[in-house]
Structure 1
Amino acid sequence: MRQMRWKAEAALAARGQPVTVEVHTRPEEVRAALREEALAGLCGSPKELSPKWLYDERGSQLFDDITRLPEYYPTRCEREILEAHAADIARLSGADTLIELGSGTSEKTRLLLEAFGTRGQLQRFVPFDVSETFLRRSARELAREYPGLHVHAVVGDFERHLRHLPRGGRRLVAFLGGTIGNFKPAPRARFFQELAAGLEPGDGLLLGTDLIKSRTRLFAAYNDRAGVTAAFNRNVLSVLNRELDADFDLKAFEHQAPFNEKHGWIEMRLISLRTQVVRLGALKRFAQFEEGEVLRTEVSCKFRSAQVEAELAAAGLSLAAWWTDAGGDFALSLAFKR
């Protein structure tokens, strides 16, 4: 009989704090999804992969390095907003449950946890991410740091498993870092609709969005002089080599990340420097690249306030607050289910 797709595991972390880990996706399912996407995205034209495949262990470390680069402003700007307004967010949301999508290390979220803790209202924190090993470790650490807080970790893909968000109480879903920009308009609308469908009236969404600005600054943020973003982008080829028994030559691809004026997004590309044929052993297929052919690995949409408000409203979410950093580069918006 096929093993169940999810399991719930209750345990006690150090100091007796409650931790729950709920699993909705497994490594073999992730590998199968990669094979399916690679078949469609690499063997035809135009070539494209989801940005989720950029974030293996090395990719995650490289991205952490990117957030510390002088050219990369979003992380610093979002933190500035949270430092200034975390208490406002806790007060306005009235939430007793904080859910973070794509939680990673939950570093910035600790500002929210501290603000909610000061008000004495937070009962449950739900980190939601795709890495089970990482989430288990993170959940234990958070339970130790915040005595009395129930940490309910959910292992899943927020493009497929939003219906499994824990229910009960008054919830605030935090989707930070500008990650919403990785969704093109149609998938983004579906994401907002699915998320809103699982919320109850009064539940909230805290959304981080990168804003339209100088093209020079946008370009610099994704084409840093140290080449860290280039290494991060090429790392997806290492993921394909490892997971698909492929033979990509990383030196045969150049990183480019121009701003697409028509669509209003940064477009991360790997450009083939020569005509080449790449073996995809696990798929028993070959991917052909012409010289100059583009493999798109990510889009990062940039927003204006009216656009964010309209897209949230279309999903039944009412904008209640809008904050930016001092330079107006990044925004956090707070919206509620009607």
Structure 2
Amino acid sequence: MSEPELVIRFTDADAARELRADVREGLTDRPKWLSPKWFYDAVGSDLFERITALPEYYQTRAEQQILHRRALEIAEITGAATLVELGSGSSEKTRLLLDALRKNETLQRFVPLDVSGSALRAAVESIAVDYPELEVRGVVDDFTSGLAALNAGTARLVAFLGGTIGNLLPTERAVFFAAVRAALRPGEWLLLGTDLVKDPDRLVRAYDDSQGVTAEFNRNVLRVLNRELGADFDPERFRHVALWNAEQEWIEMRLRADRPMRVRLPEPGLTAEFAEGEEIRTEISAKFRHNRVRDELAVAGFELRHWWLDDAEDFALSLAVAR
């Protein structure tokens, strides 16, 4: 077994600088916002794992169902020698693709990319043990800006799963798709997971569950700011809000102040004033239709070849080839 490699392109110092910059920009904007990337400290990651098992949150189960059925077909169509996974981990979904590509006898290397060095190190070590024939090269980087991992390997299949693409604004998605396309050669592939437009009440329940796990996940971002920036947020003074934006066709998660307050953030040298009822937008989660996915990929230089749905038609996996 070859030793797995971990390349660090996004350090703790980089993360700290980016956090300060994001918070200064977001909390001085109108309306206020925070980037969802800061949800995922150790506590936030554990809470999200709990969310994926909730009865209201269907996305993970739906995507796994599609992959169980289609992974070998994906392997046969792409003939991929290199699997690049953006926002990676050692999840069941990753292993479904690895197993299918190994069965197809084409896979030579796995390149997972994640912003969390500790999580990625554990994933890389685990994959290297379970797939000893693979060359494993983990890259610690931010997929929205780096994409350095895509320079590695041949006959590449890039996987971006979980519906995470929906967390990007339309302009950000366009930049992202263009960057992926620029890194690929014609004939290489992108596998994309997208949640689909459906009944708004059902969507809202998926982001405002009856057990309050998503609410705790949302408020945890304030605890991250308290710890990392010396802020003095009282998370319990902010109510979790999830709503459907029909015009944009996305869910918005917000934190709503239940009283006027002044929050000090010493690290970026900022004081944020909140009126009663004022909100911070912490996440969007765009929902898609077939034509939107097809058209956005086409603008970036991809041709949508396959569109697979789960039984309930809640979620789609798209396989697109670089033209």
The TM-score by the shorter chain falls in which range?
over 0.9
Q: TM-score, normalised by structure 2?
A: 0.98
Matched, 1:270 2:289: no
SS of 2:185's partner is coil
Match of 1:198, as an amino acid? A
AA matched with 1:291: E
Q: Could you tell me whether the CA contact under 8 Å between 2:259 and 2:276 is conserved in 1?
A: yes
CA distance in 2, matches of 1:105, 1:39: 33
Task: Name the structure 1 match of 2:72.
Answer: 87
Matched, 1:58 2:39: no
The answer for unaligned runs of 5 or more in structure 1 is 1-15
Amino acid aligned to 1:257? A
Q: Using the alignment, how far apart are the partners of 1:175 and 1:208 within structure 2? A: 6
The total of aligned residue pairs comes to 323
Query: How far apart in 2 are the matches of 1:138 and 1:194?
Result: 25
In the other structure, the counterpart of 1:97 is 82
Q: Is residue 25 of structure 1 aligned with residue 10 of structure 2?
A: yes
Partners in 1 of 2:230 and 2:83 — Cα distance?
A: 40
Q: Which amino acid aligns with 2:138?
A: A
Residue 23 of structure 1 and its aligned partner are, at CA, apart by 1.1
User: Partner residue of 1:10?
Assistant: none
Q: Secondary structure of 1:282's partner?
A: coil
Q: Distance in 1 between matches of 2:36 and 2:29?
A: 18
**Structure 2 CA distance for aligned equivalents of residues 234 and 280 of structure 1:** 16
Q: Is the 8 A contact 2:90 2:126 kept in 1?
A: no
Q: How does 1:155-304 map to 2 (within 5 A)?
A: 155-304=140-289
What's the CA shift for 1:166? 3.1
Equivalent of 1:316, from 284, 290, 301?
301
For residues 89 and 254 of structure 1, the distance between their equivalents in structure 2, rounded to whole angstroms, comes to: 43
1:103-122 paired onto structure 2 within 5 Å: 103-122=88-107
Q: Please report how far the alpha carbon of residue 262 of structure 1 lies from its aligned counterpart in structure 2 after TM superposition.
A: 1.1
Cα offset, 1:206, TM superposition: 0.2
Contact (CA 8 Å) 1:18, 1:149: kept in 2 or not? no
Deviating above 6 A after TM superposition, structure 1's stretches of 4 or more consecutive aligned residues are none
Q: CA deviation at 1:134?
A: 1.8
Equivalent pair of 2:190/2:320 in contact (CA under 8 Å)? yes
Shift of 1:107: 2.5
Asked if structure 2 preserves the Cα contact closer than 8 Å seen for 1:51 and 1:182, the reply is yes
> 1:302: how far off?
0.2
Contact 1:43 1:288 in 2 (8 A): no
Opposite residue 7 of structure 2, the aligned amino acid is E
Could you say what secondary structure the match of 2:4 adopts? strand
SS in 2 for 1:71: coil
SS of alignment partner, residue 311 of structure 1: helix
CA distance in 2, matches of 1:51, 1:212: 21
CA offsets, 1:112-155, max 9 Å, x none?
11111111110001110011122112111101101211111011
User: Following the alignment from structure 2 to structure 1, what is the Cα–Cα distance between the partners of residues 90 and 217?
Assistant: 18
The aligned residue for residue 290 of structure 2 is: 305
C-alpha deviation, 1:104, in angstroms:
2.7
- The one-letter amino acid paired with 2:115 is V
Q: Is the 8 A contact 1:43 1:286 kept in 2?
A: no
Offset, 1:18 = 3.0
> Match of 1:258, SS?
strand
Q: CA deviation at 1:164?
A: 4.3
User: Any unmatched runs of 5+ in structure 2?
Assistant: none
**DSSP 3-state at the match of 1:159:** coil
Aligned to 2:313: 328
Q: Residue 168 of structure 1: CA displacement?
A: 3.1
Aligned partners of 2:298 and 2:29: how far apart in 1? 37
Q: Which amino acid aligns with 2:263?
A: V
> Bigger shift: 180-189 or 17-26?
17-26
The TM-score, its normalising length taken from structure 1, stands at: 0.94
Identity score, percent: 53
